[in-house]
Amino acid sequence: MNLKEILQNSIIIDEELFEVSIKIELKREYYLTLKAYLKLIGGKYNSSGKKFCFLTNPKPFINNYIETEIMPKKNPTAFFPTPKNLVDDMFRIANFDYFDDEFQKNLKILEPSAGVGGISDSIRKITPYSTLDIVEILDINQEVLKKKGYDPICMDFMEYNKDYIIKYDYIFMNPPYQGTTYIKHIKHAFKMLKDNGTLCAIIPSSFISNKDKLSNWMYEKATQLGNIYHNQEGSFKEQGTNVETCIVHLDKSTIKWKLNEYQECKNFFTWQVWISLYTNSNFYSYLEKLKYSDDIKEHIKTKILKELDNYKKEYSYFSYEFIDDYVEKMFEYWCYINDREELLKDNTEVVKDISVISELDRNKQMFKQMAKCIYEAIEDNTFNGKKITYKTSSKKYNTSTSYFGSQSCFEADEAYNNNEYNGYMISAKRKNNMSDFVGIEITQRMYTQNAPFELVKNSEVLITKETLDEILFSANNDVIKLANLLKDYYDNNNKLNKYLKINENNNALDIKSIYNIEQLNTFASGLLF
């Protein structure tokens, strides 16, 4: 018997369990022929059940061979089917979850190198009315896609849409992993995105440490337009590879605002690195001890690059493209802490700038404390109100041991009177007699004897359980990221700043009689007096 006859007469296909069993006893030579073929199309032998198990329905592959007798090549493009949990992760990261029917009709989505449609199947469930283009090069995969009801573009993705006339709202991809081929595919796909388009790709994480031109391009795009999310080790083990992978999220719409001036820094990227290095005791000590020389900026640059490389090991990623801006910012700070403002063109601006950053750092410390409190509550399973303890080695920051329902997160600086300081209270929000956890509430407190109640009330911000889950997922177990995300959400949803602006413009609120506007703005910023 040849392979075609063996497949026609000797096996039983279970399309629900994705299994193939042998229904008759075969001669050893026939069995080895069958075994080699089933392994070639992704089957793994289960000795206990005496069956070959697959990750997808093997029947279309088998029928295709019976009809054409064309033997597939062994993984010619490093194709590994996408695990369902990683597809779900991509969609969650891209906020690709629900669109009304009318909106779907205007969506244009692409899956390059579609394989057997693992990603496209999930896209179709969420957006059945969108335009979905899928590209696939392998004949055997094309046949599977057609039998699923797709109309695949049968060609090499690198040859598709080379003039970039067709533009997409979303691109989801699991490109070939050979060498740096996956980056070439992403670079090609990126040019097909609309100006507000989003791309998510599951790729090897080797580009993070590699120094070649393509890897640098991929790293800079990931750090400027989105983020890098590491997948669990062994995510593709069942698919036959142990390569470490990550999900790269690129949101093309974010670059415009990130390049604008941000928090007294040249742009968002400078501010991001500034805050990270400013709170880095190792870097701060270095700047304090650094002596002036003609090449001082080169020394600072070398130190910054070293610290950014260290952050990579902790899964914190920053763009290297703006290194000169980072150096200028740190040189300004060096001048300030070493009383050498005469080296700068505009001394007054530097002093103002440093003052703002110092206050931002205090604010950040409070939110960092909140983030640690939340992670401890999760680790100890104490969101249900059991007692939690937070310890710190710093003498400047005081936290109470209490229930999560009233966990204090404030700064008690020794330089200030403990009866007059400003901070935050984080508490668990509950319903149904306090039994059901619905989210966390952040409230700003002014610890003075006559703090105006309306200020405290208008500073309250509720982060629902669903939103908190999204924030925790984005933070990826990074305390600093969680602190920043909590602060961003609080700032964007806090009514207090809006009321203060109204008060300044048309005196709509008569609260200036209690505190002057400078003090009120200080309160709104969560800073000490």
Question: Is pLDDT larger for residue 84 or for residue 401?
Answer: 84
The tally of CA atoms less than 13 A away on the side-chain side of residue 179 is 7
Q: What is the mean pLDDT of residues 203-231?
A: 92
Q: For the chain, what is the total number of helices (H) and then of strands (E)? A: 20, 17
User: In the chain, where are the structural domains located?
Assistant: 3-68, 84-257, 264-345, 358-525
Q: What is the mean pLDDT of residues 274-294?
A: 86
Fold of 84-257: Rossmann fold (3.40.50)
Backbone angles phi, psi at 511, to 5 degrees: -115, -5
Residue 223 has pLDDT above 90, yes or no: yes
Q: What is the mean pLDDT of residues 450-457?
A: 58
Strongest mean pLDDT among 392-401, 463-472, 517-526: 463-472
Residue 204 has pLDDT above 70, yes or no: yes
Q: What is the mean pLDDT of residues 29-53?
A: 82
Strongest mean pLDDT among 97-101, 222-226, 494-498: 222-226
Give the predicted TM-score (pTM) of the model.
Answer: 0.56
Q: How far is the C-alpha of 32 from the C-alpha of 26, rounded, in Å? A: 9
110-157 tens-digit pLDDT: 999 888 888 999 999 999 999 999 999 888 788 888 888 999 999 999
pLDDT at residue 270, as a whole number: 92
pLDDT at residue 370, as a whole number: 78
Q: How far is the C-alpha of 320 from the C-alpha of 221, rounded, in Å? A: 11
pLDDT category, 504, cuts 50, 70, 90? very low
74-112 tens-digit pLDDT: 544 444 566 788 888 899 998 888 888 889 999 999 999
Residue 308 class from Cβ within 10 Å (0-12 exposed, 13-18 middle, 19+ buried)?
Answer: buried
